[in-house]
Structure 1
């Protein structure tokens, strides 16, 4: 009576013979196909022949034979060669070389089988060593199977949509072969012996799998195109490394018990401690991940950047921002930093004087505290040339920007500043992005310069578009304001005319001289104020010449408290007379605006301080309050913008008008403010010439 073992042996024999016959028939059929002898067809034919040879040896000598193991190794090498031919066909040389590197690694692992086989059959080793060798052999075969499956996945997903129909059967056949081999050797590794039932049907599975493979190779697959992205390549490499790691750990776990008891225990504990230490230090480290990525890009790719992925990420960052509601000024440095993997970045924008001042800092709090301005040498160079400044080279005097002057602390050798990227739109400098040094320091090269320059132009177009949109909105609001002011001016003019007529009639027909004298004074004052208001409102939307004259600004400042009465305390500090050249009426109006704003922002019991002092060539007026203060973004973007006010009932033109009035007389208005501390407005006006004794007029166009 035939036992179970003999039954499975008979099934194994039949399946091996059937596999040899099926592969032989498929090879003959493939040779008769009227197609060109391309690389994948030649390697496929070789794989069919060598698989048939392996099946014949398996049927004749059994699975335990050295010749069967050697034939299986040659068969696996032919399958890997077919994989390489499929990947290399129809792709560029660079892609074929990258895939060839991975396949060469798998071939090397397969060749290690020869060492294991030689050790088993040539050495008179004890049974325990033979069992360990079987485990090692199974682990090596599992590693080859895992690597082959990863490459097959890339073959199918990387093929174009049109070519997937031609690769479907090839990928399916080879996947079935390697999945079966992986399960076969996984069971071998776990059980410590070759599984008889699975080994018996190996020939049957391989024979069936090679039928669709031969049919696919007999079709026209010349248009097969493999397009592997960097993400797929990195994931494939990661899977290979993980598979190698797991197999290596499993192999070491099997080999350690072979050492004598005390040494094995000590080796296991030491290895576990070392492994946990390395994992704790390296795996969570951003620096380690950055190093791994840079190393892979250096040795696996001819280009550092995946331009499609970088451009998609740039568009996503600009469209959505870091967090919901982020301003464009914050999204721009973040988008630029993502490209170079810089941990922080800062955006500098051109102000009204052409200087590049800090607008926004992304993950760079120390830079924001210093509120820096880019050196004028850098600004002048970027204004004349679209060039990315490598600060390392610039500090050494090797940059095209020229020799470096004395740099501020946040740009010198000890800082993390790495590169400055200009943002130019139609040859106009919109700003610049300062990038911090990446976690893995490297030298900027031509690829960085090209990509950052193009991205800088794109980001500059976003800034220019935003500025244009703001200008259009402001122009529309100004137009509405002018239309409203036309009606206001008309009504005020009529009221001033009525008051003038009333004053004239009261002077002629009054019965009570004392009463009517007082009434006359009041009406004349009101009429004068209304006419002055009309003149001031007339400045909006029309140019006028500013008449400059010399006057004592200290006397004007001493009269300020009387303008506001006892409702709020105003402290005045004047060392003595201070004669300036300016427009008294315009300066008085500017001071009233600024002092009123300071009163509105201050607590009721907190005084507002107004001080005048004389500098070397200018008079300095300071209006200081200890109110709520303003943040840097409000001062930069909204304080001097029309119709933007921090007060619920404010019109939003007082600060803007004060600045324009001061500029019209050749002065400057500066502001310093901190939230929770207060605000200091500083007016700087030119001093009058000492020998000027008469009024001197100077005309200039009001801003």
Structure 2
């Protein structure tokens, strides 16, 4: 640890010497040249003394005191140059300088009187307490200087000095509370002073007119450090005062430390204290109340949170309320001509409704309503008359933020009173107005998305309905054809047999249709099996002969791997279309074939045919039909069913010559064919 202390202070000495040389030879960016050179030259000598002589040598203490005075003198000169800074703080610098001289003198006196046991000396603890107070006062002065001088070099130099004072405060506090001088703190202090020299070097390279802004996060953390320093200072002062109480000193000191710690933890965990600190820091340390970048990032992050966190309405209220540190609110949404409660976030109030006058007023003005003003004597009577009485009666309602999208009021957020009560100002109004517009766009988009989902559901419902109507239409057409032919062929036994078969097939298809409806939108697909296509085609022909002449021919060895029910539905669609397109006496053919790993059924008619443009652009599109009373569903659904079984449908057609639809399906494997042959045998 001694080696680490030596090298850290040696590095700090080297860097401070480099900064002093740079300030002496070059541009100091508007800083006091002589003061900067003195600060870092004395600092380099102090660091060399720390590395070579140690921290308890009188020369080291003297150089440390001179370095502190030099920093204080540079800060005083910079304060005098601040145009908007009154000279009232200059006497404060004088008081601090006197305390620095007193502390340095006490340290050197303690070192000369008691070299062996410094901590037992009554002078040394007093000198250490003075050093802690000097560090706290210097940090306050550094912050005041940084606010008074917004130019970049001054603020970077202030940051460099703040690092030195912070290291001094931490070292003295730890040494006082531990009744010793741990070497680890010396090593850390050396590293911190080296860092401060690096920051000072950046200050000398920064342009005079380039501003350096301290973020709000750094300001809040600095305030926290000041609070921690005050906590340690109170502990140090209290335990030092109680050390003279005699035999009960240790008990009283323990009780005091415990009580102060409990009080500090209670205060730091208070939401009210955190909100109060943020308000005071924003009010006194920054030009604007809000960090707009951080607020907007938090705003959009809350709105875009995962759906499982909070419902959309509550996320909207929370996103707006977090900007003003409000912890509750209501969302009013359109309800008839007025507004009703759509969502609550941490709100216990039951809420109520708002009438059309309130909606018209906010739509026309887009005003942020401050209810404390509306409840006062100077309220606008027109505006007060538009507001519902329950809003005025509820003292917890603090502000109303309208959400307008394209001139329409999409909702209103009622904010509860924040933990630290305050009046709304112009900055609140501007931020909340922009937030209201952003929320309105987000809410309008969400509602449009919900409407689109509903439309898609209706489209799916309509598509399913169209399929059902199409299937029923085909069945009705077949039954109507049978009924017309029955008037002429009712005495023919063969016709009666075909008619019974057609009726049975129609009933079976209706039952199958009802079964598909009961299984949901997609139905339940059966596993594919080996289907002898010629036998299958002949069964289909047997059910159609009563209505229109249909023949089945082809290769008896063609066996496809398919779902028989879906295949029957495909052939039924295409066969119905072919029959409708063919003359009454012209037969429709089902031609079965196989080639390699593909088996096919061709539906061939000699009807009116189709043009190439119709096949390309409209044939397999839903709701596109060449028939005046057609639905345009059959070919579309047939191709979907074929693709679901790993097949496809191709078509060849010529106008006036007819059409041929090829249903191409995977051929069954030889093993499946052999098994089917054995079962048939």
After TM superposition, the score normalised by the length of structure 1 is: 0.51
1:528 is aligned to none
| CA apart distance, 1:326 | 3.0
Preserved contact between residue 68 and residue 100 of structure 2 (Cα < 8 Å) = no
- The one of 232, 235, 257 equivalent to 1:246 is 232
Seen in structure 2, the aligned counterparts of structure 1 residues 429 and 62 have a Cα distance that, compared at 3 Å, is closer
1:38 matches 2:30: yes
1:283 matches 2:245: no
- The one of 322, 327, 343 equivalent to 1:360 is 343
1:318 is aligned to 303
**Gap runs ≥5 in structure 2:** 1-5, 146-151, 487-681
1:349 is aligned to 333
1:298 is aligned to 283
Alignment root-mean-square deviation, CA: 6.1
| CA apart distance, 1:394 | 1.4
Distance 2:120 2:91 in 1: 28
Q: 1:20-99 residue pairs with structure 2 within 5 A?
A: 30-31=23-24, 33-35=25-27, 38-39=30-31, 41-48=33-40, 50-51=42-43, 72-79=64-71
SS of residue paired to 2:304:
helix
Q: 1:403-552 residue pairs with structure 2 within 5 A?
A: 404-405=384-385, 410-482=390-462, 485=465, 491=472
Q: Deviations over 1:272-302 (max 9, x none)?
A: 5753663475333222322222222222223
1:330 matches 2:317: no
Distance 1:184 1:325 in 2: 45
| CA apart distance, 1:66 | 9.8
Seen in structure 2, the aligned counterparts of structure 1 residues 289 and 68 have a Cα distance that, compared at 3 Å, is same
- The one of 216, 220, 224 equivalent to 1:234 is 220
Preserved contact between residue 69 and residue 100 of structure 2 (Cα < 8 Å) = no
Distance 1:224 1:20 in 2: 29
Distance 1:293 1:208 in 2: 32
Preserved contact between residue 47 and residue 75 of structure 1 (Cα < 8 Å) = yes
Preserved contact between residue 66 and residue 121 of structure 1 (Cα < 8 Å) = yes
Distance 2:18 2:64 in 1: 20
Preserved contact between residue 109 and residue 140 of structure 1 (Cα < 8 Å) = no
Q: Deviations over 1:649-676 (max 9, x none)?
A: xxxxxxxxxxxxxxxxxxxxxxxxxxxx
Q: 1:552-701 residue pairs with structure 2 within 5 A?
A: none
Distance 1:41 1:388 in 2: 52
Larger Rg: 2
Seen in structure 2, the aligned counterparts of structure 1 residues 57 and 266 have a Cα distance that, compared at 3 Å, is closer
Seen in structure 2, the aligned counterparts of structure 1 residues 399 and 427 have a Cα distance that, compared at 3 Å, is farther
| CA apart distance, 1:398 | 3.7
2:570 is aligned to none
| CA apart distance, 1:257 | 1.1
Seen in structure 2, the aligned counterparts of structure 1 residues 218 and 72 have a Cα distance that, compared at 3 Å, is same
| CA apart distance, 1:244 | 2.6
2:176 is aligned to 189
Distance 1:379 1:65 in 2: 78
1:113 is aligned to 100
Q: Deviations over 1:453-483 (max 9, x none)?
A: 0000000001111222233333344445445
1:135 is aligned to 125
| CA apart distance, 1:233 | 0.8
Q: Deviations over 1:587-639 (max 9, x none)?
A: xxxxxxxxxxxxxxxxxxxxxxxxxxxxxxxxxxxxxxxxxxxxxxxxxxxxx
| CA apart distance, 1:266 | 8.7
Distance 1:22 1:229 in 2: 27
Distance 1:241 1:102 in 2: 22
Q: Deviations over 1:322-349 (max 9, x none)?
A: x725332221011111111112111111
Seen in structure 2, the aligned counterparts of structure 1 residues 292 and 30 have a Cα distance that, compared at 3 Å, is closer
| CA apart distance, 1:81 | 6.1
Preserved contact between residue 345 and residue 364 of structure 1 (Cα < 8 Å) = yes
SS of residue paired to 2:121:
helix
| CA apart distance, 1:253 | 1.1
Preserved contact between residue 16 and residue 40 of structure 2 (Cα < 8 Å) = yes
Preserved contact between residue 216 and residue 291 of structure 2 (Cα < 8 Å) = yes
Q: Deviations over 1:412-463 (max 9, x none)?
A: 3443111110000111111111111111211111111110000000000011
| CA apart distance, 1:45 | 1.4
Preserved contact between residue 348 and residue 359 of structure 1 (Cα < 8 Å) = yes
2:353 is aligned to 373
Distance 1:172 1:471 in 2: 56
Preserved contact between residue 80 and residue 103 of structure 1 (Cα < 8 Å) = no
Distance 1:229 1:298 in 2: 14
Seen in structure 2, the aligned counterparts of structure 1 residues 410 and 270 have a Cα distance that, compared at 3 Å, is farther
| CA apart distance, 1:36 | 5.8
Distance 2:233 2:183 in 1: 23
Q: 1:366-405 residue pairs with structure 2 within 5 A?
A: 366-367=349-350, 372-396=352-376, 398-399=378-379, 402=382, 404-405=384-385
Seen in structure 2, the aligned counterparts of structure 1 residues 473 and 184 have a Cα distance that, compared at 3 Å, is closer
SS of residue paired to 1:258:
coil
How many residue pairs get matched?
A: 459
Distance 2:334 2:47 in 1: 77
**Gap runs ≥5 in structure 1:** 1-11, 156-162, 506-703
Preserved contact between residue 425 and residue 457 of structure 1 (Cα < 8 Å) = yes
After TM superposition, the score normalised by the length of structure 2 is: 0.52
Distance 1:294 1:176 in 2: 26
2:243 is aligned to 257
Preserved contact between residue 356 and residue 374 of structure 1 (Cα < 8 Å) = yes
Seen in structure 2, the aligned counterparts of structure 1 residues 421 and 70 have a Cα distance that, compared at 3 Å, is same
Seen in structure 2, the aligned counterparts of structure 1 residues 112 and 374 have a Cα distance that, compared at 3 Å, is farther
